[in-house]
């Protein structure tokens, strides 16, 4: 990188670190460290809610998904506004007036201590893993830019974030989130402007949109009723609503945000702010990914976006096959570029569009063959370069200064999410586990020290998870898959608690366990079928390939049904 880019990145990191340390002087009690004394204004809480969601995965992973799939990912958020309204009517006022530190404290009041502890442990596991994925995303960027080992980058960034979170607590987290959202928004607009100015002079914005539409990138809504498709209108509206209710209602990383607000009304406003702004902001990020795709219609794209990956092929026959794929790919692109220019200028007819689509399909097939070849050379079942698409673009196209700003934005996105999640992990650990079961009677200063040490522990745990998550595919899907594995079951417990007076502690406890197990079975059906050779399991897996987004519905419904059945059985036994 140029010295100016380094200066921008270092100036940003220094500013954030110093701000966190300065704000940390006010976090001298457990209440101020975990909930900022419940004194935050609604607009700051709202921006913090959005910043917690908008991690580096949003910038790196979502743009990569948009490059490959277009705007379809936006359907994932269709259930968000409805979920926010429902939460403002139910859990938000209840949590705020209960004066609790964590969402799981209520479960002990309603059921018992073991249900509270189990729910807290489920959150700690799921969010600890997800936090690792959030750290993994920017490590991809910096490994390309700096040529450093990814483990070194993960530790450097993760431990830096741990430092200011340990010192400043949620006050530092919230106010740095506000600053980071401004940096992120400005950098996205600037990057989109660079792409537009890099297109041929004869290609207008409308022409670029026509070109993207011809490639299927502008399709935002899919009414396919299949449960195996992840991004459809129905999965977004139904399964997505369950996920958003779980995330904002049962996940401490979000509950903690609106518990810091000054009143119930301000808590509601913070969530409604996210309901209004999240989808437009996500469309901006997806539009940036589609814009990168349009850019590479006029500038030669690589066959595979991960730099230097072809040199890892050691087998001579595989290396020869890969070289042949590269030649065919470039020849295909050269013919496709001529048609792309005609489309962008509005000079093409149906015949040219059909030919362009044919060449585009051929490009996808060549990339698929190359990725399959690389997976074979790496001894992996599959290989994806989707996380390298946007990093490759910014490091080779953005001018001096802009690259530094974009990397600062990726740092900002990562650090805002990581710091928020570490704060939530520490609060759940100290309130629901340590204070409740291990060391129940001590001074406030003791628990404050414990919260800071637990922040460090979860930071190290997340760094370990990040190293594992680097090669799991599209990181935006990985983090949502982690969440969907547990979120539905957590939501089911709160539905039992608030919606069914006859539900008892045994029903809630074993219902939660059942919800997680049932989702695990659905997720592992193909593996179980192949490993056991069971014809019945094989048949079941073939007919029940359900997208992970629906796991939230499956988990929640399972918990409610099992919980009600066990509760009813317990009442009958008691009556007998």
Q: CA nearest 151: which of 471, 374, 481, 478?
A: 471
Torsion, CA 80, CA 287, CA 153, CA 309, rounded to 10: 120
Distance between CA atoms of residues 388 and 10, nearest Å? 23
**The pLDDT of residue 504:** 92
Q: How far is CA 83 from CA 120, 122, 333, 549, 559, in A?
A: 22, 22, 44, 15, 19
Measured from the Cβ of residue 64, the count of other Cβ atoms closer than 10 Å reads: 28
Q: Which two tokens stand for residue 366?
A: 């060549």
What contacts 24+ positions apart, CB below 8 Å, involve 5-11? Answer: 5/400, 5/401, 5/403, 5/404, 5/407, 6/404, 7/404, 8/401, 8/404, 8/405, 8/407, 8/408, 9/404, 9/407, 9/408, 9/411
Distance between CA atoms of residues 304 and 301, nearest Å? 8
- Give, for all 576 residues of the chain, the pLDDT tens digit: 788 988 988 888 888 878 877 776 677 788 888 898 888 999 999 998 888 877 777 788 889 889 988 899 899 899 999 999 999 998 898 888 888 899 999 999 899 999 999 999 988 988 887 788 778 777 766 776 667 777 877 887 788 788 888 888 888 888 888 888 888 888 999 999 999 888 888 888 888 888 888 888 988 888 888 777 778 899 889 988 988 998 898 889 889 988 999 999 999 999 999 889 988 999 999 999 999 999 999 999 999 998 888 888 888 888 899 999 999 999 999 999 988 888 888 777 788 888 888 999 999 999 999 999 988 887 777 788 888 888 889 888 999 989 888 888 888 888 888 888 999 999 999 999 999 989 888 888 899 999 999 999 999 888 888 877 665 555 555 555 666 778 889 999 999 998 888 899 999 999 999 998 888 887 766 544 455 555 544 454 454 567 778 888 999 999 999 999 999 987 766 555
The dihedrals phi and psi of 223, each to the nearest 5 degrees, come to: -95, 15
Distance between CA atoms of residues 272 and 42, nearest Å? 10
Query: 217 near 70, Cβ under 8 Å?
Result: yes
Q: CA nearest 563: which of 470, 489, 486?
A: 489
Query: 512 near 492, Cβ under 8 Å?
Result: yes
Burial 442-474 (b: 16+ CB within 10 A, else e): eeeeebbebbbebbbebbebbbbbbbebbebbb
Three-class secondary structure assignment of 474-537: CHHHHHHHHHHHHHHHHHHHHHHHHHCCCCCHHHHHHHHHHHHHHHHHHHHHHHHHHHHCCHHH
Q: Is 75 left (phi over 0), alpha (psi -120 to 50) or beta?
A: alpha
- The 8-class DSSP code of residue 202 comes to T
Q: Using alpha carbons only, give the angle 566, 519, 279 rounded to the nearest 5 degrees.
A: 115
DSSP annotation string for 44-92: HHHHHHHHHH--HHHHHHHHHHHHHHGGGGGGGGTTHHHHHHHHHHTHH
Distance between CA atoms of residues 393 and 66, nearest Å? 14
**The pLDDT of residue 331:** 94
Query: 428 near 171, Cβ under 8 Å?
Result: no
Instruction: Please state the pTM of the whole predicted model.
Output: 0.84
In the CATH hierarchy, which top-level class contains the domain 3-297+393-435+445-575? Answer: mainly alpha
Burial class (CB within 10 angstroms; exposed 0-12, middle 13-18, buried 19+) of 408: buried
Query: 426 near 31, Cβ under 8 Å?
Result: no
Measured from the Cβ of residue 189, the count of other Cβ atoms closer than 10 Å reads: 11
Distance between CA atoms of residues 424 and 417, nearest Å? 11
Q: CA nearest 20: which of 200, 167, 196, 239?
A: 167
> Tokens 């530190």 appear where?
101
Query: 23 near 171, Cβ under 8 Å?
Result: yes
**The pLDDT of residue 572:** 65
């Amino acid at each position: 990188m140029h010295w100016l880019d380094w200066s921008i990145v270092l100036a940003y990191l220094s500013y954030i670190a110093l701000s966190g340390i300065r704000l940390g002087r006010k976090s001298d009690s457990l209440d101020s460290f975990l909930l900022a004394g419940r004194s935050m204004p609604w607009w700051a809480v709202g921006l913090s809610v959005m910043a917690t969601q908008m991690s580096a995965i949003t910038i790196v992973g979502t743009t990569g998904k948009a490059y490959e799939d277009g705007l379809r990912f936006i359907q994932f958020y269709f259930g968000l506004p409805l979920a926010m309204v429902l939460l403002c009517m139910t859990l938000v006022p209840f949590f705020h007036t209960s004066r609790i530190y964590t969402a799981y404290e209520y479960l002990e009041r309603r059921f018992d201590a073991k249900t509270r502890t189990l729910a807290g442990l489920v959150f700690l596991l799921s969010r600890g893993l997800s936090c690792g994925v959030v750290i993994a995303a920017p490590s991809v960027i910096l490994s390309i830019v700096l040529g450093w080992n990814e483990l070194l980058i993960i530790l450097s960034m993760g431990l830096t974030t741990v430092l200011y979170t340990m010192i400043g607590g949620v006050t530092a987290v919230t106010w740095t989130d506000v600053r980071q959202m401004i940096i992120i928004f400005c950098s996205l607009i600037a990057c989109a402007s660079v792409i537009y100015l890099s297109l041929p002079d004869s290609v207008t914005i409308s022409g670029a949109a026509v070109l993207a539409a011809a490639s299927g990138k502008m399709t935002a809504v899919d009414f396919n009723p299949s449960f195996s498709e992840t991004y459809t209108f129905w999965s977004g509206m139904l399964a997505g609503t369950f996920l958003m209710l779980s995330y904002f209602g049962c996940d401490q990383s979000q509950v903690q945000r609106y518990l810091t607000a000054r009143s119930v009304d301000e808590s509601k406003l913070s969530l409604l702010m996210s309901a209004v702004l999240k989808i437009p902001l996500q469309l901006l990020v997806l539009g940036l990914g589609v814009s990168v795709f349009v850019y590479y219609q006029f500038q030669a794209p690589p066959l595979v976006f991960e730099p230097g990956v072809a040199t890892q092929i050691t087998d001579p026959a595989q290396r020869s096959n890969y070289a042949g794929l590269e030649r065919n790919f470039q020849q295909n692109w050269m013919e496709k570029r001529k048609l792309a220019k005609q489309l962008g200028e509005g000079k093409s007819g149906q015949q040219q569009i059909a030919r362009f689509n044919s060449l585009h399909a051929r490009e996808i097939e060549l990339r698929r063959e190359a990725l399959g070849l690389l997976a074979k050379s790496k001894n992996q079942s599959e290989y994806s370069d989707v996380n390298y698409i946007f990093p490759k673009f910014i490091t080779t196209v953005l001018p001096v200064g802009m690259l530094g700003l974009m990397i600062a934005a990726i740092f900002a996105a990562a650090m805002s999410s990581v710091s928020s999640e570490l704060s939530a992990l520490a609060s759940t650990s100290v309130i629901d586990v340590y204070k409740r079961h291990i060391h129940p009677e001590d001074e406030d200063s003791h628990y404050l020290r414990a919260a800071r040490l637990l922040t460090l522990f979860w930071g190290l745990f997340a760094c370990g998870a990040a190293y594992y998550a680097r090669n799991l595919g599209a990181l935006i899907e990985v983090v949502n898959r982690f969440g969907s594995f547990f979120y539905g079951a957590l939501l089911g417990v709160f539905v039992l608690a608030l919606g069914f007076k006859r539900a008892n502690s045994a029903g809630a406890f074993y219902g939660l366990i059942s919800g997680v197990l049932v989702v695990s079975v659905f997720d592992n059906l193909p593996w179980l079928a192949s490993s056991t050779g069971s014809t019945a399991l094989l048949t079941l897996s073939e007919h029940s390939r359900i997208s992970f987004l629906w796991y939230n519905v499956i988990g929640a419904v399972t918990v409610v049904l099992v919980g009600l059945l066990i509760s009813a059985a317990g009442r009958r036994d008691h009556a007998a």
